[in-house]
Amino acid sequence: MGIDDITLNFSPQTLALLNGVLAVMMFSVAIDLTPADFRRVLVAPKPLIVGLISQFVILPALTFLLVLSTAPRPSIALGLILVAACPGGNLSNYMTHRAGGNAALSVSMTAFSTVGAILITPLNIAFWGSLYDPTHAILHDTAIDPVSVAITVGGMLILPLISGVLLNARRPDLAGRIRKPLQLLSVAIFISFVILALAANWTYFLLYAGAVAALVIAHNALAFAGGFGLATLTGLSPFNRRAITIETGIQNSGLGLVLIFGFFGGLGGMAVVAATWGIWHAISGLALAAVMNRTVASR
Taking the chain, what is the end-to-end CA distance rounded to the nearest angstrom? 54
In one-letter notation, the amino acid at residue 87 is: P
How far apart (Å, rounded) are the C-alpha atoms in residues 27 and 32? 9
Specify the pLDDT at position 245: 95
| Contact partners, residue 144, CB within 8 Å, separation at least 6 | 122, 125, 126, 263, 264
Average pLDDT, consecutive stretches of 10 residues, N- to C-terminus, the chain (299 residues):
55 66 76 75 86 95 96 91 87 81 83 83 90 87 69 75 85 83 74 67 67 90 96 94 94 81 76 83 88 71
* CATH 3.40.640.10 holds for 3-294: no
Domain ranges of the chain: 3-294
pLDDT for position 144: 63
Instruction: Quickly count: other Cβ atoms within 10 Å of residue 191's Cβ.
Output: 14
Residue 105's pLDDT is what?
86
pLDDT at position 85: 93
